[in-house]
Chain A
């Protein structure tokens, strides 16, 4: 059982969240070519170790969170709000 410390709600069980994948991929600009879009849509670093990822606190504050988690030990290093303006 993962326990994610939500900056808004406090520490909660993973069952309250939805995993939304790698948070490091960035959508290329409109003029980008096929390779860039292929990389963005499909290719992932998929690291063993620290991974920056999105989690949605679906059953809590409903905020999208950026989480740094070790994919082997499941240690969580940081959880921050995705919205830089605090979301409102």
Chain B
């Protein structure tokens, strides 16, 4: 299967305010003219009374949905409504890891589709998103864990996705800083997805916003949705802090706020909101050129292009809408970090932050129609929704345009819970704590 869609239908769509093509020559020219020729990458639009499609949430999924609607499905009468400035939600707070090393075949196909879209994204958007396929290395520490990873890797390879087993020595040569015999859980080896890596998160929001805006999408910032108008089981539009916006279709892409927005339409979702924290250290010389995940504790890390070590762990563990996080998880993550990479014990942490996650009850996302006609949900991303932004946007746009799910996202329907077929990505049952 080749899930990559045909090339953009951009020629068909009107292109308004141009921020101009970005290129080396443009950089050179602007450098010589005192940088006076740059124009804003997207237009700060004001709301119109009515749109064909209103997308709530100017994060990665809202913006990519808008972009693909305009570029691939020819639907440009679209507004993205964001309560703050775009890109300050989870899309600008995550640890930027992209990969497709999932376990369930349907998930592997979906995330692999996303990875393929990442691979062509910068060219498609003419925007430097710093896609860096440095490889993601998952460590295992027990034989049972190795069996599990082997099974997952085999599953991936059967579907044509890259996965490689790495020996202990291989791990050491990929990550010289590692203490293979650390404490209770010595490293037995790892699994590498060479095509996994990182992407500059803000650039993703900006690049999609620019692409959507240029094709006629209204990106309306500082406009909070306060109500969803619906009658006779059909959506009519959204109430906002800047007035009512009528719409044929309303698409929710509000991550941690999914339950609140769905609640405005009278729905209860299989989702809880939890905080996930991340940290970044002072800049170091290059010490780590893969994305590394510890298999025996809550810790994963990569080195940013600026040199900071970007790392994180698990969610704090109780419902919260506070985008901050508390200290016990910081302690746990730091302990795991020092166990695995003791040489980093004295590196200073510069910043800490948190983002609020839409933790679904089976750990997999929801891209689906809802019981309210015309209301579409893109959510339940847990803490893995960054990597899914291209595929999430494309499949959501497909659902909006065709009224039926994209073939790669049929398993992500909301009805799966009541139907007794939740996605068993980790096999742990209905807890909103998985990713």
Give the B-binding residues of A (Cβ under 8 A).
1-2, 13-15, 19, 21-22, 34-35, 38-39, 41-48, 51, 53, 71-74
Contacts and interface: CB of A to CB of B under 8 A. Distances in A.
B318 interface: yes
Nearest to B416: A42
B336 to A, nearest CB: 16
Interface in B240-299: 257, 259-260, 263, 268-273
B317 A41 contact: no
A46 B326 contact: no
B321 to A, nearest CB: 5
Residue of A14, A42, A73 most packed against chain B (CB within 10 A): A42
Nearest to B260: A48
Residue of B270, B273, B319, B430 most packed against chain A (CB within 10 A): B319
Chain B interface size, under 10 / 10 to 19 / 20 to 34 / 35 or more: 20 to 34
A53 B318 contact: yes
A1 to B, nearest CB: 5
B322 A74 contact: yes
B417 interface: yes
Given A41-B430, A44-B268, A46-B269, A74 B320 contact: yes
B28 interface: no
B325 to A, nearest CB: 10
Contact of A46 (B271, B322, B418): B271
Contact of A14 (B260, B322, B328, B432): B328
A44 to B, nearest CB: 5
B324 to A, nearest CB: 9
Given A38-B417, A38-B418, A45 B318 contact: no
B75 interface: no
Nearest to B431: A21
A68 B263 CA distance: 21
B418 A15 contact: no
What are the 7 closest A-B residue pairs judged by CB atoms, nearest first? A46-B259, A42-B270, A38-B418, A19-B318, A43-B268, A42-B417, A48-B321
Contacts of A53: 318-319
A1 B318 CA distance: 12
A35 B418 contact: yes
Nearest to A35: B418
Contacts of B271: 44, 46
Contacts of A44: 259, 268-272, 432
29 contacts: A1-B327, A1-B328, A2-B318, A15-B328, A19-B317, A34-B418, A38-B417, A38-B418, A41-B417, A41-B430, A42-B361, A42-B417, A44-B268, A44-B269, A45-B263, A46-B259, A46-B269, A46-B272, A46-B319, A47-B259, A48-B321, A51-B319, A53-B319, A71-B320, A71-B321, A71-B322, A72-B321, A73-B322, A74-B320
Interface in B300-350: 317-322, 326-328
Interface secondary structure of B, over-half rule = mixed
Nearest to A49: B321
Contacts of A1: 326-328
Given A2-B326, A15-B328, A38-B418, A43 B321 contact: no
Interface string B217-251: 00000000000000000000000000000000000
B320 A46 contact: no
A39 B268 CA distance: 8
Contacts of B326: 1-2, 14
B360 to A, nearest CB: 9
Contacts of B430: 41-42
A84 to B, nearest CB: 24
Nearest to B323: A72
Nearest to A43: B268
A74 B260 CA distance: 18
A74 B257 CA distance: 17
Contacts of A43: 268-270, 417
Residue of A1, A43, A47 most packed against chain B (CB within 10 A): A43
Contacts of B322: 71-74
Contacts of A72: 320-322
Nearest to A45: B268
A1 B328 CA distance: 7
Contacts of B432: 44
Nearest to B360: A42
B320 A45 contact: no
A37 B327 CA distance: 36
Given A22-B319, A48-B260, A53-B318, 18 more contacts: A1-B328, A14-B318, A14-B328, A19-B318, A21-B272, A41-B430, A42-B361, A43-B270, A43-B417, A44-B269, A44-B271, A45-B259, A46-B319, A47-B259, A48-B321, A51-B319, A71-B322, A72-B322
